[in-house]
Structure 1
């Protein structure tokens, strides 16, 4: 009971920190007049950041629903419609957040290794197109949850019953197929892409170091980008691996009867990713603080700022 209370407190802490952090990022990003005083690089990053923060904000609200449900002895509190919509939004926002992280990892790789190619595709219009594709694909991926999930009554022990959300579409086989699909699309494939991006960045950095090409500032900037991409990949794995190990084990290992607390721990850790993301992606551009200052001063009609420096340096930040 004590451990469960600690987990619920963890849910609430993640909810408060995640909502505040992501909401703050969105407010800073959407501050009126900011876009007129920043360059294309910052505007492109801003497009990804706003959408990822929005997805993380929606995902974090799942903490509140699960916390209230775990406090309630009757189980799920939000009815059949809430069961379908809330769990669908969980899948949708997880997909959006993960794939924007993936796109940003690719974008960092291209900016460092192929700066001229990066300039060709780095535009707000292109970034918005990518974001639209991600949201639409997320809607498609989450749609089976709307149809498959339903509110049901199950035995809770000692002759009592409680409400729970359960998959009711074509039995366990269809659930297994769907969960494997979600696992591949929202974890396995993004993991591979982010790891490849990081390894290619490291290979490029080692080559640059051996050739001693470019200024020390350029090499230091590229090394910083490689470190941040590695950090993004590491946090992604730490947060989502326990969740997917638990989900796939429950589905595919016979006679596996885990305690509810194990699933709750895995769920808490998965929500941590959306809580940590705002702090991670404010590190991605080295001059993100400059960007914040530009947005702050833009409302006072401050003179225009410009991120200066050699092209390969700016493109890698």
Structure 2
């Protein structure tokens, strides 16, 4: 389903207008290596901070820990992807790693979407139902939820490991999918679009609307400290921005490209390349969420810098 890197024609097509290899050879390495550096530093530091001993561990930090681990796993694959395009779309790392590349991309994308959605729901409940959120903020419940997300996304993405389903053309053209795979990918995209994006996105929008409504109605904060509401609202707003910037453009263009893929759609294909880079960029933007919304994260970072 890595359609942004899909071959726009079949093997017999030699028309240069049907390929954007030169465009991908420039854009992907620059973006992937930049995201790798920023994501490795940001998520590596975040994981270090999250796993420091603390008396005040919360369910929010559990979700963010898992999000950071997912992001770090993904950015570790980006040097391989960048190398592929720097070598002129030639894969030299073998078939197993070839399949893992696409699999890891989508595991990270949808784990990120689900973890961000759960975070918004937890913060939403803390604002709207401050005295009825014990279960959803329970540490045991958070760990079970994280495990369920990992299992579901890993299982749902597993068809991408199959050569029959994903339609890898050859090992050397690892990240380029053959045109014959489009019907299968279009069917998968319909399911993923609804379950993996539309439902979570609608959930976040609902959380945002009702959280704002509750804060406008409330004259006195339900928490003892106003910072409680500030962090809750920050989580929902930053998550909504990440969805609008990173995930929404890619899911729209991926669907359109699968439906109207042809040589005449080179501009659409280029736009899809850009939106995939934006989707990957989520991995280095999530630490911004941790800094402004995680419990005690900002204080720990400052303490670490002082040391």
For the aligned pair, the TM-score class normalised by the smaller chain equals 0.7 to 0.9
The 5 A counterparts of 1:44-55 are: 44-55=59-70
Give the corresponding residue for 1:226: 233
Contact 2:107 2:157 in 1 (8 A): yes
1:186 positional shift: 2.2
Give the corresponding residue for 1:305: none
Report the CA distance shift for 1:77/1:190 in structure 2 as closer, same or farther (over 3 A).
Answer: farther
Instruction: Tell me the TM-score normalised to structure 2 length.
Output: 0.80
Aligned with residue 239 of structure 1, among 217, 241, 246: 246
Distance 2:256 2:168 in 1: 23
1:19 positional shift: 0.8
Give the corresponding residue for 2:42: 21
State the Cα deviation string for residues 230-277 of structure 1 (Å, max 9, x = none).
Answer: 222112211112222221121112545225543332221111111100
Distance 1:109 1:174 in 2: 37
Q: Which runs of 5+ in 1 are unaligned?
A: 155-161, 298-317
The answer as to 2:200 corresponding to 1:185 is no
Q: Which runs of 5+ in 2 are unaligned?
A: 1-21
Contact 2:59 2:139 in 1 (8 A): yes
Give the corresponding residue for 1:196: 206
Give the corresponding residue for 1:84: 99
Distance 1:24 1:173 in 2: 42
1:51 positional shift: 0.7
The answer as to 2:98 corresponding to 1:98 is no
Give the corresponding residue for 1:272: 281
Report the CA distance shift for 1:22/1:78 in structure 2 as closer, same or farther (over 3 A).
Answer: same
Per residue, is there more strand in 1 or in 2? 1
1:183 positional shift: 2.0
Q: CA RMSD in A?
A: 3.1
Contact 2:223 2:229 in 1 (8 A): no
Report the CA distance shift for 1:166/1:244 in structure 2 as closer, same or farther (over 3 A).
Answer: same
State the Cα deviation string for residues 44-66 of structure 1 (Å, max 9, x = none).
Answer: 22211211001011222343222
Give the corresponding residue for 1:288: 297
1:5 positional shift: 3.2
Give the corresponding residue for 2:266: 258
3-state DSSP of counterpart to 1:21: helix
Report the CA distance shift for 1:135/1:224 in structure 2 as closer, same or farther (over 3 A).
Answer: closer
Bigger radius of gyration: 1
State the Cα deviation string for residues 177-234 of structure 1 (Å, max 9, x = none).
Answer: 10222222222111111111111101101111xxx23489755642553244122211
Tell me how many residue pairs correspond in the alignment: 282
The 5 A counterparts of 1:32-71 are: 34-35=53-54, 38-39=55-56, 42-71=57-86
3-state DSSP of counterpart to 1:119: coil
3-state DSSP of counterpart to 1:234: helix
1:2 positional shift: 8.5
Contact 2:25 2:88 in 1 (8 A): no
The answer as to 2:146 corresponding to 1:131 is yes
Contact 1:151 1:166 in 2 (8 A): yes
Contact 1:74 1:163 in 2 (8 A): yes
Aligned with residue 169 of structure 2, among 146, 152, 155: 152
Give the corresponding residue for 1:72: 87
Report the CA distance shift for 1:61/1:227 in structure 2 as closer, same or farther (over 3 A).
Answer: same
Distance 2:91 2:167 in 1: 11
